[in-house]
Amino acid sequence: MNDSPSTVFDVQALADSLYGLREACRSQATAEFSLPQNLATAMQAQQTLAAKEGVPGNAWKVAMSPDKHAVVAPLHPYVETSRDAELPYLPGMKFEVEIAVRLGRSLPIKSDLYSREEIYDAVSEAYLGAELLSSAIKEGGTLSFPLFVADRIGNRGYVLGPAVPKTLVDTVGEAELIVTQGGNPIYKGPAKHPVGDVLAWLVAYANDSARPANSLKAGAIITTGALSGAMLLPGSGKVEVLLSKAHALNVVLMA
């Protein structure tokens, strides 16, 4: 149910609707929502939703819209561990393996563009991470990407695992990635970021002059996009990740 041009969009109502669906572990069709007109309105709804969920806001995912505009969403629930992590499982949940980075210094908005080298230099540590995905929107972001942004880009949890060599930011595309659940293979193959560079979307977001002035502060964790695509999980249980035969992360999904 789209709003007429003269209607003032109700950010609170959308956030309340998304919150209720998330709490009930339900989803509904895009057509049943009042749609944000643009990414700016979507971000307002996302921020309102995150406040209702009690999201701390120092860990973020970065993504790219279909029209090549970098967007972010907070990660919640969020766990840091080098051993088994426990997070809730939802039917239909998907699992992504990612590289996350910690900013060693802030990246303020500036008049000229950040280079990739500047962004790389601002990274103090890199980590192996795993994101859980489950949207309150049945179609995800395929019909309305702004609505998907309001729904925290589908994030339903994140595990920040062990530190990995920072050089993996540049070389992870050469690494083998193995993901199993209950001993059964879910993914085995090269670690492939959708655009071939794990820093690409972070660079784009850093160079967005419209982003909040307090974004990308020192200490922030940014996860950079899937290395394996979004893998549908068969159910709850233990998911084991092995990257480059050396870096392991285990996530126990509780029904």
Question: What does the DSSP assignment read for 56-105?
Answer: --SEEEEEE-TTS-EEEEE--SEEE-SS-EEEE--TT-EEEEEEEEEESS
β-strand 184-190 against 176-181: which pairing, if any?
antiparallel
Task: Examine the pLDDT at 3 and tell me if it is beyond 80.
Answer: no
Residue 163 lies in a domain: yes
The pLDDT value given to residue 84: 87
pTM of the predicted structure, to 2 decimals: 0.94
The pLDDT value given to residue 4: 46
Share of the chain above pLDDT 90, in %: 93
Residue 97 lies in a domain: yes
48-104 pLDDT, tens per residue?
Answer: 999 999 998 799 999 999 999 999 999 999 999 977 899 999 999 999 999 999 999
Pick from 32, 12, 63: nearest CA to 223 = 63
Residue 36 lies in a domain: no
Q: Which helix (H) or strand (E) holds 204?
A: helix 200-206
The residue range of the domain holding 170 is 55-254
- Report the 10 Å Cβ neighbour count for 216: 25
- Report the 10 Å Cβ neighbour count for 38: 12
Residue 42 lies in a domain: no
Task: Examine the pLDDT at 2 and tell me if it is beyond 90.
Answer: no
Token pair 């279909």 is at which residue? 66
The pLDDT value given to residue 125: 98
Residue 38 lies in a domain: no
Residue 7 lies in a domain: no
219-245 pLDDT, tens per residue?
Answer: 999 999 999 899 999 999 999 999 999
CATH number of the CATH domain containing 114: 3.90.850.10
Residue 77 lies in a domain: yes
Copy the structure tokens of residue 245.
Answer: 């035969």
Residue 179 lies in a domain: yes
How many domains in the chain?
1
144-179 pLDDT, tens per residue?
Answer: 999 999 999 999 999 999 999 999 999 999 899 999
Pick from 111, 67, 63, 59: nearest CA to 221 = 59
